[in-house]
Structure 1
Amino acid sequence: LTEFTGKVQYQDIVEGVTVREEFDEVTGLARKVIIEDADGRLQPGVIISSGDSAAPTTDRHRYPLPVGANLSVADGTDVFAADIIAKIPRETTKTKDITGGLPRVAELFEARKPKEQAVITEIDGRVEMGGFVKGMRKIVIRADNGETKEYLIPRGKHISVHEGDRVKAGEALMDGSPNPHDYLAVLGDRELQRYLVNEVQEVYRLQGVTINDKHIEIIVRQMLRRVRIEEVGDTEFVVGELVDKFVFQEENERVLSQGKRPATAKPVLLGITKASLSTDSFISAASFQETTRVLTEAAISGKTDDLRGLKENVIVGRLIPAGTGLGNYTRVEVLTPGGEAVKPLDQVLSFDPPPTETPEGDGSVAAAV
């Protein structure tokens, strides 16, 4: 849509070079479609200029056209504000049922780089359209404090901002999905968590499936549970090490209480596969993928599995630490109607050897070593 009233002027729209006529079998009409210039020198677009020949150049407004756009106006015609000058068709080849959306869910949960990645701005500011660098369109974002950031948009991509627009950090400058790792670097982990939850929910909402946010939030929490150490300070960490957020906080609290320098770290986004392999339990990780590598690293580093999670307890045949399997329930004394104490479940299912009586035979019990 054009935002201004004026006369249409084609720019770099050359028949057979940047535009071709195609026959639409549905409507039975011919249409002009923008194609990619083989040399990369021409950048097709439409200029809306004032009808007054003496109008200054500031009254000329250019609309770049991406590859595949269908022209809706002819050169030299008059248009009014809100008139359609070109239509950008959406991809219609994708499956519209839930199976078409599941690859998008897998892409989000595995934290992969999107196929059609969008460039996002790192700062707040106003958009300035630059020239062309190596066939790519340069966009400059100028902040209020004078700071500038330059971004290059690939040729043929649809730019979603215009000259003078005000953008906020994290806003996409072109069509596509932002890289979640870039989103994390620009906006932080909280905003990334909201973005991931909303993107996953959007896939299911389109099919009328209602899922409580808490289920997706648990998965996203595990994906952002690790941080990468940047400065070790006086802690026992190593630069570049991936550690749990809670371990990082506890270690910093310990060194701060002693008046020493804490460590600094940045949040890291891990896909669900890598997050599962980086769990503290080597039994749980080995049962998932890369069993040989996980067990080898655990043996080399002398790891100890405290069996705190559900999965590792199920593997070794113990009660899971949930419900009546929690430690609080094992410390409750249960009496029969006759007043006889019932043996706790953790003793019934214990892997420890049975106690042996002392040689004196006075009825006391000593644990066998």
Structure 2
Amino acid sequence: SGTVRLTDVVEGITLQEERNKVTGVIERKITASRMGKKNPRISIEGKDKKINFPLPIDTILMVENGEDVEPGDVLAKIGREAGGTKDITGGLPRIAELFEARKPRNPAIISEFEGIVSLETSPKGLIEVVVRNEETNQVKQYSIPQGKHLVVYEGDHVGVGEALTDGAIDPHDVLRVKGEKEAQEFLLNAIQEVYRLQGVTINDRHIEVIVRQMLGNVKILDAGDTHFLKGEVMSRASWLRENAKMKAAGKRLADAETILLGISKASLASESFISAASFQETTKVLTDAAITGQVDELAGLKENVIVGHLIPAGTGISARQIAQEFEQKRKETGEK
């Protein structure tokens, strides 16, 4: 229990009275400040502590300044449009957004480390969420744009990658903050959630195969003694293979980070230019392959089907192994 104190709630500037078209009742609604430096919020002053609640735009105010409130009393209401619903971002558009690894239109801001939340106001009048970790002495400020709705409050404990505002979480942010494994789990759960809402049951393994391909490429951070270029994107297999050669020769290894690609870009980033050309942008893929002098080892299924060879699976594996062993022996003996 405590007393209500309204801060930066000024009638005509951040507060307007509007008549509800459905009920006919006059409502007091929070609006965007033309001054630019107003940050409407409610403070509840109790006997031993003070709690702050930010008031987003379009919030309907239900209390007066100086009013006494008890636990459970309604302070304000956030409209359905402001709060958002899962149906807006759900369904097939959300599936396409996840599989193509697109950044959401209204992404949520997530915490980069574990800590306690405190709310402050910037000189520009924006709400700033400050996350502090007392154990590691990490402090990070997140400026919240006007119109964004907070889902955390003063004194809340947040974990790594936890959302601070409403909106869809960007999988790229999850990969950057929490790592590859957590990004895989996030994508799997987010995709399955949409299908479950539609009443469709899909075994995890089918989605896991796709997610594995989406996270199967790396970006070079330091080329070391390899022939790679900084910023080059390639398959993880190529990077590991080249690093194994450098390690055997006692040279510096290339450093890389995992990147998330949508299924279209991941297909074009295939090691096999025949496989990539069969998907889309055929002319561009074949032109790039010719300019850079690429060699297709025909290691995958798709490229072998295209050229009419046995696929590298089942009996095709044993046939390939026999051919490789024969080639290895021929090289060792120097036969032609």
Residue 118 of structure 1, CA deviation: 1.6
The alpha-carbon deviation at position 88 of structure 1 amounts to: 1.8
Distance 1:94 1:267, change over 3 A: same
The question of 1:82 aligning with 2:78 is answered no
| Alignment partner, residue 102 of structure 1 | 92
Find the residue that maps to 1:13 and give its secondary structure. Answer: coil
Taking structure 1 as the reference length, what is the TM-score of the superposition?
0.78
Output aligned runs, 1:44-83, within 5 Å: 44-50=40-46, 59-83=49-73
Deviates more, 1:289-298 or 1:304-313: 304-313
Alignment of 1:250-269 (within 5 A): 250-269=241-260
Distance 2:290 2:320 in 1: 32
- Which secondary structure does the structure 1 equivalent of 2:295 belong to? coil
C-alpha displacement of 1:313: 3.3
Counterpart for residue 327 of structure 1: 317
Match of 1:206 in 2: 197
Decide whether the 8 Å contact of 2:180 with 2:258 is kept in 1.
yes
Residue 186 in 1 paired to residue 177 in 2? yes
Give the secondary structure class of the aligned counterpart of 1:327.
helix
Q: 2:262 corresponds to which residue?
A: 271
1:19 aligns to what? 15
Cα shift at 1:45: 1.4
Contact 1:224 1:269 in 2 (8 A): yes
How far is the alpha carbon of 1:166 from its aligned partner?
2.2
Q: Does 1:153 align with 2:149?
A: no
Asked whether 1:8 is paired with 2:4, we answer: yes
Between stretches 244-253 and 273-282, larger displacement belongs to 244-253
Distance 1:254 1:42, change over 3 A: same
Q: Does residue 40 of structure 1 match 2:31?
A: no
Kept in 2: contact 1:135–1:155 (CA 8 A): no
**Counterpart of 2:260 in 1: which secondary structure?**
coil
Query: Partner of 2:107 in structure 1?
Result: 117
Number of residue pairs the alignment of both structures matches: 321
Q: Measured at CA, do residues 330 and 308 of structure 1 come closer, stay the same or move farther in structure 2, by a change above 3 Å?
A: closer
Cα distance, 1:251–1:93 mapped onto 2, change above 3 Å: closer
Question: Which deviates more, 187-196 or 302-311?
Answer: 302-311
CA distance in 1, matches of 2:85, 2:301: 39
| DSSP 3-state at the match of 1:177 | coil
Q: Aligned partners of 1:204, 1:156: CA distance in 2, in Å?
A: 30
Counterpart-to-counterpart distance in 1, 2:198 and 2:49 = 46
User: Aligned in 2, Cα 1:186/1:96: closer, same or farther, shift over 3 Å?
Assistant: closer
The 8 Å contact of residues 135 and 154 in structure 1, kept in 2 or not, is answered as: no
| Compared CA separation, residues 299 and 329, structure 1 to 2 (3 A) | closer
CA contact (8 A) 1:111 1:270 kept: yes
**Cα separation, 2, equivalents of 1:184 and 1:93:** 25
- How well do the aligned residues superpose, as a CA RMSD in angstroms? 2.7
CA–CA distance in 2 between the matches of 1:104 and 1:313? Answer: 34
**Gap change, CA 1:331 and 1:171, over 3 Å in 2:** closer
Deviations 1:111-152 (A, max 9, x none): 222111122122222223222243322222222232222211
Contact 1:229 1:238 in 2 (8 A): yes
Residue 330 (structure 1) shift: 8.9
Q: Which residue of the other structure, out of 232, 244, 247, is the alignment partner of 2:235?
A: 244
Q: Secondary structure at the match of 1:118?
A: coil
Deviates more, 1:5-14 or 1:203-212: 5-14
Bigger mean CA offset, 191-200 vs 255-264: 255-264
Mapping 1:263-342, distance limit 5 Å: 263-322=254-313, 326-328=316-318
Note the C-alpha offset of 1:156.
2.7
What is the distance in 2 between the residues matched to 1:318 and 1:75? 79
Letter in 1 for 2:138: E
Going from structure 1 to structure 2, the CA distance change for 1:236 and 1:85 (only over 3 Å counts) comes to same
1:130 aligns with 2:116: no
